[in-house]
């Protein structure tokens, strides 16, 4: 199974990797963004404004853990 590069950040916002975005190189949107059209490999760019591809299940995305400092 392919590891997904998109994730939910510690505030609960969805970070979309360019390779998994509808506006990226692998997506089907006719209006591609300038960054997404160049990125071909995962974990080389992304944003919080994109649209997750339809074939990706949101339930499988990981949650980034926010660690608190130990005093």
Q: For the chain, what are the domain ranges?
A: 1-57
Per DSSP bridges, beta strands 14-17 and 7-8 are antiparallel
How confident is the model at residue 67, as a pLDDT? 55
* pLDDT tens string 3-55: 888 998 888 889 999 999 999 888 888 888 888 888 888 888 899 998 898 88
CA of residue 28 relative to chain centroid, distance: 15
- Cβ atoms of residues 6 and 61 within 8 Å: yes
pTM metric for this prediction: 0.77
């Amino acid at each position: 199974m392919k590891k997904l590069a998109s994730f939910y950040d510690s505030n609960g916002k969805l970070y979309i990797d360019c390779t998994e975005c509808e506006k990226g190189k692998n997506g089907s949107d006719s209006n591609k963004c300038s960054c997404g059209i160049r990125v071909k490999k995962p974990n080389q760019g992304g944003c919080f404004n994109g649209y997750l591809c339809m074939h990706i299940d949101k339930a499988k995305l990981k949650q980034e853990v926010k660690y608190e400092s130990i005093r």
